[in-house]
Amino acid sequence: MTTLYEPWDETRGAGIIAEHAGQEGATLVILHALQEAFGHVPQAAIPMVAKALNLSRAEVHGVFTFYHDFRHKPAGRHVLKLCRAEACQAAGGDALAARAEARLGVSLGNTTADDRVTLEPIYCLGLCATAPSAMLDGRLVGRLDQKRLDALVAEAQR
């Protein structure tokens, strides 16, 4: 299932920020909420977060760029994450990652030219006893093999 995100809207953004600004240490909570609504953390929101939390823009920018989860721009329509950590490597994950890259024509960490699929590495989904594993738009898949991977790729490309 593909997720449709709202276009950036300052009033809506301000509402999201205000909703969480009262919590202690709210920066990550707010950045998560913004990304959930807009699919990324819009640049325009950074100074707004800073103002609401009485921080400098540099501080908020620093937090935003430190964490792998936060996006500068929305991902493709589907996000396929492949676990690249040791347990999945041990179970043949390297070859599957290479196969996914070849099938989609992009390397890990990139989005296909038609904006349909973002292929990303992830370091451990905690499914290490049913490795290798993947996640397509939040749906978990274990015991990945060539056949299952191809089906996932085809589903993502639809």
Partner 1 sequence: MSIRLYVSRDAGAVAVGADEVALALEQAAAKRGVAVEIVRTGSRGMYWLEPLVEVATPRGRIAFGPVTETDVPSLLDALVGNTPHLLRLGATDEIPWLKRQTRLTFARCGVIDPRSLDDYCAHGGYNGLARALSLGSDAILTEVSAAGLRGRGGAGFPTGIKWKTVAQAKADRKFIVCNADEGDSGTFADRMIMEGDPFLVIEGMTIAGITVGASKGYIYIRSEYPHAVEAMNAAIVAARRGGYLGTNIGGSKQAFDLEVRVGAGAYVCGEETSLLESLEGRRGIVRAKPPLPAHHGLFGKPTVINNVLSFAAIPFILAEGAKAYADFGMGRSRGTMPIQLAGNIRHGGLFETAFGVTLGELVDDIGGGTFTGRPVRAVQVGGPLGAYFPRSLFDTPFDYEAFAARDGLIGHGGIVVFDDSVDMRRQARFAMEFCAIESCGKCTPCRIGSTRGVETIEKIIKGERVSENLALVEDLCNTMKFGSLCALGGFTPYPVLSALKHFREDFAPIPTTLQAAE
Q: Which of 15, 47, 105, 126 binds partner 1 (CB under 8 A)?
A: 126
Nearest residue (CB) to partner 1, 129 versus 154: 129
User: Element (H or E) spanning 150, and its range?
Assistant: helix 146-157
Phi first, then psi: give them for residue 113, nearest 5 degrees.
-60, -30
CB of 109 to partner 1, least distance (A): 11
The residue among 141, 106, 140 whose CA lies nearest residue 120 is: 106
Which run of H or of E encompasses 146?
helix 146-157
Is residue 17 part of the contact set for partner 1 (CB under 8 A)?
no
Task: Supply the minimum distance, in Å, between the C-beta of residue 94 and partner 1.
Answer: 8
Binding span for partner 1 by CB under 8 A among 3-11, 89-97, 98-106, 150-158: 89-97
Closest contact distance (angstroms) between CB of 135 and partner 1 is 8
Q: What is d(CA 45, CA 33) in angstroms, rounded to the nearest whole number? A: 12
Q: Does 133 bind partner 1 (CB under 8 A)?
A: yes
Secondary-structure breakdown of the chain: helix, strand, coil percentages, each rounded to the nearest 5: 45, 15, 40
Residues of this chain that interact with partner 1 (CB under 8 A) are 24-29, 31-32, 53, 59, 62-63, 66-70, 83, 85-92, 122-131, 133, 138, 140-143
